[in-house]
Chains A and B, each alone.
Chain A
Amino acid sequence: MTDPAWINTALSSARPQAVAALLRYFRDLDTAEEAFQEACLRALRNWPKNGSPRDPAAWLIFVGRNSGIDAARRRNKQAPMPPEETVSDLEDVEGAVVERLDGAHYRDDILRLLFICCHPDLPATQQIALALRIVSGIPVKQIARAFLVGESAMEQRITRAKARIANADVPFEAPGPVERSERLAAVLAMVYLVFNEGYSAGATEIANRAPLCEEAIRLARLLLRLFQTEPEVMGLTALLLLQHARAAARFDAEGELVLMDDQDRSLWNRALIDEGLALIDKAMRHRRSGPYQIQAAIAALHARAARPEDTDWAEIDLLYSVLESMTPSPVVTLNRAVAYAKLRGPEAALKLIEPLEPKLAGYFHFFGVKGGLLMQLGRAEDAREAFGRAIALANTAAEAAHIRMHLDRLSAESLPRDGISA
Protein backbone atom coordinates (compact mmCIF):
# COMPACT_ATOMS: atom_id res chain seq x y z
CA MET A 1 0.00 0.00 0.00
CA THR A 2 2.23 2.76 -1.23
CA ASP A 3 -0.49 4.77 -2.92
CA PRO A 4 -1.57 7.71 -0.69
CA ALA A 5 -5.23 7.05 -1.52
CA TRP A 6 -5.02 3.60 0.10
CA ILE A 7 -3.09 4.93 3.06
CA ASN A 8 -5.74 7.58 3.54
CA THR A 9 -8.43 4.90 3.59
CA ALA A 10 -6.52 3.00 6.25
CA LEU A 11 -6.05 6.21 8.24
CA SER A 12 -9.71 7.10 8.15
CA SER A 13 -10.75 3.59 9.15
CA ALA A 14 -8.42 3.78 12.17
CA ARG A 15 -9.51 7.30 13.05
CA PRO A 16 -12.34 6.66 15.54
CA GLN A 17 -10.24 4.24 17.55
CA ALA A 18 -7.11 6.41 17.46
CA VAL A 19 -8.75 9.76 18.24
CA ALA A 20 -10.78 8.12 21.01
CA ALA A 21 -7.68 6.67 22.67
CA LEU A 22 -5.78 9.97 22.27
CA LEU A 23 -8.72 11.77 23.86
CA ARG A 24 -8.36 9.48 26.87
CA TYR A 25 -4.68 10.41 27.17
CA PHE A 26 -4.97 14.12 26.61
CA ARG A 27 -8.51 14.74 27.88
CA ASP A 28 -8.87 17.50 25.35
CA LEU A 29 -10.47 17.14 21.97
CA ASP A 30 -8.31 19.64 20.09
CA THR A 31 -5.08 18.17 21.45
CA ALA A 32 -6.27 14.67 20.53
CA GLU A 33 -7.19 15.74 17.01
CA GLU A 34 -3.87 17.54 16.51
CA ALA A 35 -1.94 14.52 17.74
CA PHE A 36 -3.87 12.32 15.35
CA GLN A 37 -3.18 14.69 12.47
CA GLU A 38 0.52 14.62 13.23
CA ALA A 39 0.49 10.81 13.40
CA CYS A 40 -1.24 10.71 9.99
CA LEU A 41 1.43 12.95 8.46
CA ARG A 42 4.12 10.65 9.80
CA ALA A 43 2.23 7.62 8.49
CA LEU A 44 2.11 9.14 5.00
CA ARG A 45 5.89 9.60 5.14
CA ASN A 46 6.72 6.35 6.86
CA TRP A 47 4.33 3.69 5.53
CA PRO A 48 5.29 3.89 1.84
CA LYS A 49 8.92 3.23 2.84
CA ASN A 50 8.45 0.67 5.59
CA GLY A 51 5.15 -0.93 4.65
CA SER A 52 1.90 -0.48 6.53
CA PRO A 53 1.77 -1.74 10.11
CA ARG A 54 -0.36 -4.76 10.95
CA ASP A 55 -2.38 -2.70 13.37
CA PRO A 56 -2.70 0.82 11.92
CA ALA A 57 -4.76 2.10 14.87
CA ALA A 58 -2.18 1.00 17.45
CA TRP A 59 0.60 2.59 15.38
CA LEU A 60 -1.29 5.88 15.13
CA ILE A 61 -2.12 5.92 18.82
CA PHE A 62 1.49 5.29 19.80
CA VAL A 63 2.95 7.86 17.41
CA GLY A 64 0.16 10.35 18.06
CA ARG A 65 0.65 10.12 21.78
CA ASN A 66 4.38 10.70 21.53
CA SER A 67 3.94 13.66 19.22
CA GLY A 68 1.24 15.11 21.48
CA ILE A 69 3.57 14.84 24.44
CA ASP A 70 6.40 16.43 22.45
CA ALA A 71 4.12 19.30 21.47
CA ALA A 72 3.08 19.79 25.10
CA ARG A 73 6.76 19.86 26.14
CA ARG A 74 7.58 22.42 23.46
CA ARG A 75 4.72 24.60 24.62
CA ASN A 76 5.85 24.26 28.21
CA LYS A 77 9.11 26.02 27.42
CA GLN A 78 7.11 29.12 26.61
CA ALA A 79 4.14 28.72 28.86
CA PRO A 80 3.53 27.62 32.43
CA MET A 81 3.21 23.87 32.99
CA PRO A 82 -0.23 22.51 32.19
CA PRO A 83 -2.02 20.73 35.01
CA GLU A 84 -0.73 17.19 35.37
CA GLU A 85 -4.02 15.58 34.40
CA THR A 86 -3.98 17.07 30.89
CA VAL A 87 -1.03 14.84 30.00
CA SER A 88 -1.65 11.49 31.62
CA ASP A 89 0.36 8.27 31.32
CA LEU A 90 3.49 10.19 30.37
CA GLU A 91 5.87 7.41 31.23
CA ASP A 92 3.78 4.53 29.97
CA VAL A 93 6.35 3.28 27.44
CA GLU A 94 4.59 -0.02 26.92
CA GLY A 95 1.47 1.77 25.83
CA ALA A 96 1.57 0.48 22.28
CA VAL A 97 1.61 -3.12 23.37
CA VAL A 98 -1.07 -2.53 25.95
CA GLU A 99 -3.29 -0.84 23.37
CA ARG A 100 -2.98 -3.74 21.02
CA LEU A 101 -4.15 -6.19 23.65
CA ASP A 102 -6.87 -4.30 25.36
CA GLY A 103 -9.90 -4.29 23.12
CA ALA A 104 -12.22 -3.49 26.01
CA HIS A 105 -10.51 -0.14 26.47
CA TYR A 106 -11.12 0.73 22.85
CA ARG A 107 -14.77 0.02 23.26
CA ASP A 108 -15.31 2.53 26.04
CA ASP A 109 -13.02 5.06 24.34
CA ILE A 110 -14.94 5.04 21.09
CA LEU A 111 -18.26 5.03 22.88
CA ARG A 112 -17.12 8.07 24.88
CA LEU A 113 -15.96 9.87 21.75
CA LEU A 114 -19.33 9.29 20.08
CA PHE A 115 -21.22 10.05 23.24
CA ILE A 116 -19.73 13.51 23.74
CA CYS A 117 -21.10 14.37 20.30
CA CYS A 118 -24.60 13.53 21.59
CA HIS A 119 -24.55 16.16 24.31
CA PRO A 120 -28.18 16.97 25.13
CA ASP A 121 -27.50 20.73 24.92
CA LEU A 122 -26.58 20.37 21.26
CA PRO A 123 -29.34 20.49 18.66
CA ALA A 124 -29.55 17.37 16.49
CA THR A 125 -27.91 18.97 13.46
CA GLN A 126 -24.90 20.02 15.55
CA GLN A 127 -24.60 16.55 17.03
CA ILE A 128 -24.47 15.14 13.54
CA ALA A 129 -22.00 17.73 12.27
CA LEU A 130 -19.75 17.16 15.25
CA ALA A 131 -19.79 13.38 14.91
CA LEU A 132 -19.00 13.62 11.22
CA ARG A 133 -16.14 16.00 11.88
CA ILE A 134 -14.60 14.43 14.97
CA VAL A 135 -15.39 10.73 14.69
CA SER A 136 -15.49 10.24 10.94
CA GLY A 137 -12.99 12.98 10.11
CA ILE A 138 -15.04 14.31 7.19
CA PRO A 139 -13.72 17.69 5.98
CA VAL A 140 -15.77 20.69 7.08
CA LYS A 141 -16.30 21.63 3.44
CA GLN A 142 -18.06 18.37 2.72
CA ILE A 143 -20.20 18.56 5.86
CA ALA A 144 -21.18 22.11 4.91
CA ARG A 145 -22.23 20.89 1.47
CA ALA A 146 -24.38 18.15 3.02
CA PHE A 147 -26.14 20.69 5.22
CA LEU A 148 -26.48 23.25 2.44
CA VAL A 149 -24.57 25.96 4.33
CA GLY A 150 -21.34 27.79 3.63
CA GLU A 151 -18.03 26.39 4.79
CA SER A 152 -17.29 29.18 7.24
CA ALA A 153 -20.77 28.96 8.76
CA MET A 154 -20.25 25.24 9.32
CA GLU A 155 -16.77 25.86 10.72
CA GLN A 156 -18.29 28.27 13.24
CA ARG A 157 -21.06 25.86 14.13
CA ILE A 158 -18.57 23.09 14.84
CA THR A 159 -16.31 25.38 16.85
CA ARG A 160 -19.26 26.51 18.98
CA ALA A 161 -20.41 22.94 19.50
CA LYS A 162 -16.89 21.93 20.52
CA ALA A 163 -16.67 24.78 22.99
CA ARG A 164 -19.93 23.69 24.53
CA ILE A 165 -18.86 20.09 25.03
CA ALA A 166 -15.43 21.19 26.30
CA ASN A 167 -17.22 22.86 29.19
CA ALA A 168 -19.42 19.87 29.84
CA ASP A 169 -18.18 17.28 32.26
CA VAL A 170 -17.45 14.06 30.46
CA PRO A 171 -16.36 11.37 32.86
CA PHE A 172 -13.21 9.61 31.69
CA GLU A 173 -13.31 6.60 33.97
CA ALA A 174 -14.76 3.43 32.48
CA PRO A 175 -18.58 3.61 32.57
CA GLY A 176 -20.64 1.15 34.59
CA PRO A 177 -23.04 -1.22 32.80
CA VAL A 178 -26.09 1.05 33.18
CA GLU A 179 -24.20 4.12 32.05
CA ARG A 180 -22.69 2.20 29.18
CA SER A 181 -26.08 1.13 27.90
CA GLU A 182 -27.45 4.68 28.27
CA ARG A 183 -24.53 6.02 26.26
CA LEU A 184 -25.02 3.35 23.67
CA ALA A 185 -28.71 4.25 23.28
CA ALA A 186 -27.87 7.94 22.75
CA VAL A 187 -25.16 7.06 20.25
CA LEU A 188 -27.43 4.71 18.28
CA ALA A 189 -30.03 7.47 18.02
CA MET A 190 -27.36 9.85 16.72
CA VAL A 191 -26.16 7.36 14.11
CA TYR A 192 -29.76 6.94 12.98
CA LEU A 193 -30.03 10.74 12.64
CA VAL A 194 -26.90 10.83 10.49
CA PHE A 195 -28.42 8.20 8.22
CA ASN A 196 -31.75 10.01 7.94
CA GLU A 197 -30.02 13.25 6.99
CA GLY A 198 -28.71 11.41 3.96
CA TYR A 199 -31.75 9.25 3.31
CA SER A 200 -34.30 12.06 3.32
CA ALA A 201 -32.40 14.00 0.66
CA GLY A 202 -33.97 14.58 -2.73
CA ALA A 203 -32.40 13.48 -6.00
CA THR A 204 -30.66 16.80 -6.59
CA GLU A 205 -28.94 16.71 -3.20
CA ILE A 206 -28.28 13.00 -3.15
CA ALA A 207 -24.73 13.27 -4.47
CA ASN A 208 -23.79 15.49 -1.53
CA ARG A 209 -25.84 13.68 1.06
CA ALA A 210 -25.57 9.99 0.19
CA PRO A 211 -22.13 9.91 1.87
CA LEU A 212 -24.00 10.57 5.13
CA CYS A 213 -25.79 7.23 4.70
CA GLU A 214 -22.51 5.47 4.06
CA GLU A 215 -20.90 7.18 7.04
CA ALA A 216 -23.81 6.15 9.28
CA ILE A 217 -23.41 2.55 8.13
CA ARG A 218 -19.69 2.73 8.85
CA LEU A 219 -20.42 4.03 12.36
CA ALA A 220 -23.06 1.36 12.92
CA ARG A 221 -20.64 -1.37 11.81
CA LEU A 222 -18.02 0.11 14.12
CA LEU A 223 -20.44 -0.07 17.05
CA LEU A 224 -21.36 -3.59 16.07
CA ARG A 225 -17.71 -4.63 16.19
CA LEU A 226 -17.54 -3.17 19.70
CA PHE A 227 -20.87 -4.55 20.92
CA GLN A 228 -21.16 -7.82 19.08
CA THR A 229 -23.92 -9.30 21.21
CA GLU A 230 -26.23 -6.28 21.47
CA PRO A 231 -29.38 -7.06 19.47
CA GLU A 232 -30.33 -3.39 19.06
CA VAL A 233 -26.93 -2.61 17.52
CA MET A 234 -27.51 -5.50 15.10
CA GLY A 235 -31.02 -4.16 14.50
CA LEU A 236 -29.87 -0.63 13.71
CA THR A 237 -27.09 -1.85 11.42
CA ALA A 238 -29.52 -4.16 9.64
CA LEU A 239 -32.05 -1.35 9.28
CA LEU A 240 -29.51 1.01 7.71
CA LEU A 241 -28.15 -1.66 5.38
CA LEU A 242 -31.61 -2.70 4.21
CA GLN A 243 -32.72 0.89 3.61
CA HIS A 244 -29.52 1.85 1.85
CA ALA A 245 -29.70 -1.26 -0.34
CA ARG A 246 -32.61 0.36 -2.19
CA ALA A 247 -30.75 3.61 -2.90
CA ALA A 248 -30.21 3.01 -6.62
CA ALA A 249 -33.93 2.35 -7.17
CA ARG A 250 -35.41 5.21 -5.17
CA PHE A 251 -35.17 7.89 -7.86
CA ASP A 252 -35.90 7.68 -11.57
CA ALA A 253 -33.87 9.27 -14.37
CA GLU A 254 -35.78 12.56 -13.93
CA GLY A 255 -35.01 12.63 -10.21
CA GLU A 256 -38.56 11.72 -9.20
CA LEU A 257 -39.12 9.60 -6.10
CA VAL A 258 -40.10 6.04 -6.99
CA LEU A 259 -42.44 4.29 -4.54
CA MET A 260 -41.30 0.96 -3.22
CA ASP A 261 -44.04 -0.89 -5.15
CA ASP A 262 -42.78 0.63 -8.40
CA GLN A 263 -39.06 0.22 -7.78
CA ASP A 264 -36.95 -1.97 -10.06
CA ARG A 265 -35.94 -4.57 -7.50
CA SER A 266 -33.04 -5.75 -9.63
CA LEU A 267 -31.37 -2.44 -8.71
CA TRP A 268 -31.46 -3.32 -5.01
CA ASN A 269 -27.98 -4.09 -3.65
CA ARG A 270 -27.97 -7.81 -2.92
CA ALA A 271 -24.82 -7.87 -0.75
CA LEU A 272 -26.18 -5.15 1.56
CA ILE A 273 -29.53 -6.95 1.77
CA ASP A 274 -27.88 -10.27 2.60
CA GLU A 275 -25.80 -8.70 5.35
CA GLY A 276 -28.88 -6.92 6.72
CA LEU A 277 -30.97 -10.09 6.68
CA ALA A 278 -28.24 -12.11 8.41
CA LEU A 279 -27.99 -9.42 11.10
CA ILE A 280 -31.71 -9.14 11.80
CA ASP A 281 -32.00 -12.93 11.96
CA LYS A 282 -29.13 -12.95 14.45
CA ALA A 283 -30.71 -10.17 16.50
CA MET A 284 -34.10 -11.87 16.70
CA ARG A 285 -32.54 -15.00 18.22
CA HIS A 286 -31.73 -12.96 21.32
CA ARG A 287 -35.45 -12.48 22.02
CA ARG A 288 -34.76 -9.00 23.37
CA SER A 289 -36.75 -6.91 20.98
CA GLY A 290 -36.34 -3.18 20.46
CA PRO A 291 -37.47 -0.44 18.07
CA TYR A 292 -34.50 -0.77 15.70
CA GLN A 293 -34.98 -4.52 15.42
CA ILE A 294 -38.69 -4.11 14.68
CA GLN A 295 -38.01 -1.51 12.00
CA ALA A 296 -35.27 -3.71 10.54
CA ALA A 297 -37.66 -6.68 10.56
CA ILE A 298 -40.16 -4.60 8.57
CA ALA A 299 -37.46 -3.57 6.09
CA ALA A 300 -36.39 -7.23 5.89
CA LEU A 301 -39.90 -8.31 4.87
CA HIS A 302 -39.81 -5.82 2.01
CA ALA A 303 -36.33 -7.00 1.05
CA ARG A 304 -37.37 -10.65 1.05
CA ALA A 305 -40.28 -10.05 -1.33
CA ALA A 306 -39.10 -10.79 -4.88
CA ARG A 307 -42.13 -8.91 -6.26
CA PRO A 308 -44.26 -6.24 -4.53
CA GLU A 309 -47.25 -8.63 -4.48
CA ASP A 310 -45.16 -11.14 -2.48
CA THR A 311 -44.86 -8.70 0.44
CA ASP A 312 -46.09 -10.13 3.72
CA TRP A 313 -48.33 -7.20 4.67
CA ALA A 314 -49.98 -9.06 7.55
CA GLU A 315 -46.62 -9.56 9.25
CA ILE A 316 -45.62 -5.96 8.53
CA ASP A 317 -48.88 -4.73 10.05
CA LEU A 318 -48.25 -6.90 13.10
CA LEU A 319 -44.72 -5.54 13.49
CA TYR A 320 -46.03 -1.98 13.26
CA SER A 321 -48.52 -2.70 16.01
CA VAL A 322 -45.64 -3.95 18.17
CA LEU A 323 -43.65 -0.83 17.32
CA GLU A 324 -46.67 1.34 18.20
CA SER A 325 -46.88 -0.21 21.65
CA MET A 326 -43.10 0.07 22.12
CA THR A 327 -42.71 3.68 20.93
CA PRO A 328 -46.18 5.22 20.61
CA SER A 329 -46.05 7.99 18.01
CA PRO A 330 -48.45 9.31 15.38
CA VAL A 331 -45.71 8.89 12.76
CA VAL A 332 -45.47 5.17 13.49
CA THR A 333 -49.24 4.83 13.15
CA LEU A 334 -49.08 6.77 9.90
CA ASN A 335 -46.45 4.38 8.57
CA ARG A 336 -48.65 1.49 9.61
CA ALA A 337 -51.46 2.88 7.44
CA VAL A 338 -49.77 1.62 4.27
CA ALA A 339 -49.80 -1.98 5.47
CA TYR A 340 -53.26 -1.43 6.96
CA ALA A 341 -54.62 -0.30 3.60
CA LYS A 342 -53.13 -3.31 1.82
CA LEU A 343 -54.80 -5.66 4.29
CA ARG A 344 -58.09 -3.99 5.14
CA GLY A 345 -58.60 -1.51 2.34
CA PRO A 346 -58.19 2.27 2.06
CA GLU A 347 -61.38 3.05 4.02
CA ALA A 348 -60.07 1.31 7.14
CA ALA A 349 -56.63 2.92 6.74
CA LEU A 350 -58.24 6.35 6.44
CA LYS A 351 -60.14 5.73 9.69
CA LEU A 352 -56.83 4.76 11.30
CA ILE A 353 -55.03 7.96 10.37
CA GLU A 354 -57.80 10.58 10.57
CA PRO A 355 -57.49 10.96 14.37
CA LEU A 356 -53.78 11.80 13.84
CA GLU A 357 -54.52 14.95 11.85
CA PRO A 358 -54.32 17.45 14.74
CA LYS A 359 -50.87 16.11 15.72
CA LEU A 360 -49.55 15.80 12.18
CA ALA A 361 -51.06 18.99 10.73
CA GLY A 362 -47.57 20.20 9.77
CA TYR A 363 -46.29 16.92 8.42
CA PHE A 364 -45.83 16.42 4.69
CA HIS A 365 -46.16 12.65 4.71
CA PHE A 366 -49.49 12.73 6.54
CA PHE A 367 -51.18 14.57 3.70
CA GLY A 368 -49.36 12.50 1.11
CA VAL A 369 -50.68 9.29 2.63
CA LYS A 370 -54.15 10.76 3.22
CA GLY A 371 -54.35 12.00 -0.36
CA GLY A 372 -53.26 8.61 -1.62
CA LEU A 373 -55.95 6.82 0.36
CA LEU A 374 -58.64 9.29 -0.76
CA MET A 375 -57.52 8.82 -4.34
CA GLN A 376 -57.89 5.06 -4.01
CA LEU A 377 -61.41 5.62 -2.69
CA GLY A 378 -62.23 7.70 -5.75
CA ARG A 379 -62.72 10.87 -3.68
CA ALA A 380 -60.87 13.04 -6.17
CA GLU A 381 -61.85 16.40 -4.69
CA ASP A 382 -60.78 15.50 -1.12
CA ALA A 383 -57.60 13.91 -2.47
CA ARG A 384 -56.78 17.11 -4.36
CA GLU A 385 -57.17 19.13 -1.18
CA ALA A 386 -54.92 16.79 0.83
CA PHE A 387 -52.27 16.81 -1.91
CA GLY A 388 -52.41 20.58 -1.99
CA ARG A 389 -51.57 20.71 1.69
CA ALA A 390 -48.81 18.15 1.18
CA ILE A 391 -47.16 20.30 -1.49
CA ALA A 392 -47.24 23.28 0.83
CA LEU A 393 -45.42 21.21 3.45
CA ALA A 394 -42.93 19.44 1.15
CA ASN A 395 -39.34 19.46 2.39
CA THR A 396 -37.67 18.79 -0.93
CA ALA A 397 -38.38 19.50 -4.56
CA ALA A 398 -38.63 15.76 -5.19
CA GLU A 399 -41.39 15.42 -2.58
CA ALA A 400 -43.38 18.24 -4.13
CA ALA A 401 -42.85 16.84 -7.62
CA HIS A 402 -44.05 13.45 -6.48
CA ILE A 403 -47.31 14.87 -5.17
CA ARG A 404 -47.76 16.98 -8.29
CA MET A 405 -47.56 13.77 -10.29
CA HIS A 406 -50.54 12.46 -8.32
CA LEU A 407 -52.42 15.69 -8.94
CA ASP A 408 -51.73 15.46 -12.66
CA ARG A 409 -52.98 11.92 -12.62
CA LEU A 410 -56.13 13.01 -10.81
CA SER A 411 -56.79 15.61 -13.48
CA ALA A 412 -56.05 13.22 -16.32
CA GLU A 413 -58.20 10.38 -15.10
CA SER A 414 -60.63 10.21 -12.26
CA LEU A 415 -60.03 6.48 -11.85
CA PRO A 416 -58.85 5.46 -8.41
CA ARG A 417 -55.14 4.62 -8.37
CA ASP A 418 -52.83 3.20 -5.78
CA GLY A 419 -50.73 6.09 -4.59
CA ILE A 420 -49.54 5.66 -1.09
CA SER A 421 -46.34 7.34 -0.17
CA ALA A 422 -43.64 4.88 0.83
Chain B
Amino acid sequence: MLYAILCYNNEDVVCAWSKEQDDEVMARLQVVTEKLAKQGRLGPVARLLPTTAATTLRKTKDEPLVIDGPFAETKEQFLGFYVVECATLDDAVDVAKELADANPGGGSYELRPIGAYFPAREAV
Protein backbone atom coordinates (compact mmCIF):
# COMPACT_ATOMS: atom_id res chain seq x y z
CA MET B 1 0.00 0.00 0.00
CA LEU B 2 1.17 3.52 -0.70
CA TYR B 3 1.43 5.98 2.15
CA ALA B 4 1.80 9.71 1.89
CA ILE B 5 4.01 10.96 4.70
CA LEU B 6 3.03 14.58 5.19
CA CYS B 7 5.52 16.78 7.02
CA TYR B 8 4.45 19.58 9.34
CA ASN B 9 6.76 21.95 11.15
CA ASN B 10 7.06 25.56 12.28
CA GLU B 11 8.15 27.31 9.12
CA ASP B 12 9.56 30.30 11.01
CA VAL B 13 12.14 27.95 12.48
CA VAL B 14 12.83 26.12 9.23
CA CYS B 15 13.26 29.42 7.37
CA ALA B 16 15.80 30.50 9.99
CA TRP B 17 18.14 27.60 9.25
CA SER B 18 21.43 28.72 7.81
CA LYS B 19 22.38 27.34 4.42
CA GLU B 20 24.84 24.96 6.10
CA GLN B 21 22.18 23.71 8.50
CA ASP B 22 19.70 23.30 5.66
CA ASP B 23 22.23 21.38 3.56
CA GLU B 24 23.03 19.17 6.54
CA VAL B 25 19.37 18.27 7.05
CA MET B 26 18.86 17.64 3.34
CA ALA B 27 21.89 15.35 3.26
CA ARG B 28 20.63 13.37 6.25
CA LEU B 29 17.15 13.06 4.75
CA GLN B 30 18.70 11.88 1.52
CA VAL B 31 20.28 8.93 3.31
CA VAL B 32 16.79 7.84 4.33
CA THR B 33 15.23 8.38 0.91
CA GLU B 34 18.08 6.65 -0.90
CA LYS B 35 17.60 3.54 1.18
CA LEU B 36 13.89 3.56 0.31
CA ALA B 37 14.70 4.16 -3.35
CA LYS B 38 17.07 1.16 -3.41
CA GLN B 39 14.28 -0.98 -2.00
CA GLY B 40 12.04 0.32 -4.80
CA ARG B 41 9.63 1.85 -2.29
CA LEU B 42 10.06 5.57 -2.93
CA GLY B 43 7.55 7.61 -4.93
CA PRO B 44 7.55 11.38 -5.50
CA VAL B 45 9.03 13.66 -2.85
CA ALA B 46 8.36 17.40 -2.61
CA ARG B 47 9.50 20.26 -0.43
CA LEU B 48 7.18 23.24 -0.55
CA LEU B 49 8.07 26.94 -0.46
CA PRO B 50 6.78 28.90 2.57
CA THR B 51 3.02 29.29 3.00
CA THR B 52 3.51 33.04 2.48
CA ALA B 53 4.10 32.25 -1.20
CA ALA B 54 0.85 30.27 -1.41
CA THR B 55 -2.53 31.26 -2.80
CA THR B 56 -5.85 29.61 -2.07
CA LEU B 57 -8.78 29.16 -4.43
CA ARG B 58 -12.02 28.72 -2.54
CA LYS B 59 -15.22 27.62 -4.25
CA THR B 60 -18.23 29.76 -3.64
CA LYS B 61 -21.75 29.88 -5.00
CA ASP B 62 -20.53 32.14 -7.81
CA GLU B 63 -17.01 32.70 -9.11
CA PRO B 64 -14.36 30.88 -7.07
CA LEU B 65 -12.52 33.20 -4.73
CA VAL B 66 -8.75 33.55 -5.08
CA ILE B 67 -7.25 34.63 -1.78
CA ASP B 68 -3.86 34.87 -0.10
CA GLY B 69 -2.87 32.22 2.30
CA PRO B 70 -3.37 29.65 3.76
CA PHE B 71 -3.35 31.83 6.84
CA ALA B 72 -1.26 30.03 9.38
CA GLU B 73 -3.66 29.65 12.27
CA THR B 74 -1.63 26.84 13.73
CA LYS B 75 2.00 26.87 14.74
CA GLU B 76 2.88 24.13 12.25
CA GLN B 77 2.60 24.37 8.51
CA PHE B 78 2.46 21.75 5.78
CA LEU B 79 6.00 21.85 4.38
CA GLY B 80 6.34 18.80 2.14
CA PHE B 81 5.60 15.13 1.57
CA TYR B 82 6.99 11.72 0.67
CA VAL B 83 5.14 8.94 -1.11
CA VAL B 84 6.38 5.57 0.15
CA GLU B 85 5.34 1.94 -0.42
CA CYS B 86 4.59 0.47 3.01
CA ALA B 87 3.11 -2.98 3.57
CA THR B 88 1.83 -2.08 7.02
CA LEU B 89 1.24 0.97 9.16
CA ASP B 90 4.24 -0.11 11.25
CA ASP B 91 6.43 0.21 8.15
CA ALA B 92 5.13 3.73 7.59
CA VAL B 93 5.76 4.62 11.22
CA ASP B 94 9.32 3.31 10.88
CA VAL B 95 9.96 5.49 7.82
CA ALA B 96 8.54 8.53 9.57
CA LYS B 97 10.72 7.82 12.60
CA GLU B 98 13.80 7.75 10.42
CA LEU B 99 12.79 11.02 8.80
CA ALA B 100 12.13 12.53 12.22
CA ASP B 101 15.57 11.42 13.44
CA ALA B 102 17.23 13.03 10.44
CA ASN B 103 15.39 16.27 11.05
CA PRO B 104 16.27 18.49 14.03
CA GLY B 105 13.68 20.39 15.97
CA GLY B 106 9.99 19.82 16.40
CA GLY B 107 7.28 19.05 13.92
CA SER B 108 5.02 16.14 13.13
CA TYR B 109 4.38 13.62 10.38
CA GLU B 110 0.95 12.59 9.20
CA LEU B 111 0.85 9.06 7.76
CA ARG B 112 -1.96 8.99 5.26
CA PRO B 113 -2.79 5.98 3.10
CA ILE B 114 -3.15 6.90 -0.56
CA GLY B 115 -6.51 6.05 -2.14
CA ALA B 116 -5.78 6.68 -5.79
CA TYR B 117 -2.38 7.36 -7.27
CA PHE B 118 -1.60 9.04 -10.59
CA PRO B 119 2.14 9.31 -11.12
CA ALA B 120 3.40 11.69 -13.80
CA ARG B 121 2.71 10.35 -17.26
CA GLU B 122 3.03 11.39 -20.86
CA ALA B 123 -0.01 12.87 -22.55
CA VAL B 124 -1.77 10.24 -24.66
Contact = CB atoms under 8 A, between A and B. Distances in A.
A56 B11 CA distance: 12
A3 B52 contact: no
B20 to A, nearest CB: 9
Contacts of A9: 13, 16-18, 21
A119 interface: no
A274 B12 contact: no
A13 B71 contact: no
Interface string B1-45: 000000000101101111001000000000000000000000000
Contacts of A128: none
Contacts of A53: 106
A12 B13 CA distance: 9
Contacts of B52: 221, 224-225, 228, 237, 279
B26 to A, nearest CB: 12
B79 to A, nearest CB: 14
Contacts of B54: 278
Interface residues of A, number: 33
Contacts of A224: 52
Contacts of A274: 49
Contacts of A49: none
A274 B46 CA distance: 15
Interface in B49-67: 49-50, 52-55, 66-67
B16 A279 contact: no
Contacts of B18: 9
Contacts of B13: 9-10, 13-14, 56
B27 to A, nearest CB: 15
A287 interface: no
Contact of B71 (A5, A55, A228): A228
Contacts of A222: 12
B12 A52 contact: no
A10 B104 CA distance: 10
Given A52-B106, A221-B52, A278-B49, A228 B16 contact: no
Give the residue among B13, B49, B50, B52 with the most A Cβ atoms within 10 A.
Answer: B52
Interface in A216-259: 218, 221-222, 224-225, 228-229, 237
A275 interface: yes
A225 B16 contact: no
Interface string A266-285: 00000100110011001001
B68 interface: yes
Interface of B, secondary structure class, is loop
Interface of A, secondary structure class, is helix
B65 to A, nearest CB: 12
A285 B66 contact: yes
Contacts of A5: 21
A100 B73 CA distance: 10
A3 B10 CA distance: 18
B47 to A, nearest CB: 9
B106 A54 contact: yes
A144 B83 CA distance: 48
Nearest to B72: A225
A57 B106 CA distance: 13
A407 B57 CA distance: 55
A362 to B, nearest CB: 37
Contact of A10 (B16, B69, B71, B72): B16
A1 interface: yes
B53 A55 contact: no
Contacts of B15: 13, 218, 221
A19 to B, nearest CB: 14
Contacts of B12: 13-14, 57, 222, 225
B105 A6 contact: yes
30 contacts: A1-B106, A3-B104, A6-B104, A6-B105, A9-B17, A9-B18, A13-B12, A13-B15, A51-B106, A53-B106, A54-B10, A54-B75, A54-B76, A56-B13, A57-B12, A100-B75, A103-B73, A221-B15, A221-B52, A225-B52, A225-B72, A228-B69, A228-B71, A237-B52, A275-B50, A275-B53, A278-B53, A279-B53, A282-B53, A282-B68
Q: Which 4 A-B pairs have the closest CB atoms?
A: A13-B16, A278-B53, A6-B104, A1-B104
Given A1-B104, A221-B15, A275-B49, 6 more contacts: A1-B105, A10-B13, A218-B15, A237-B52, A274-B49, A279-B53
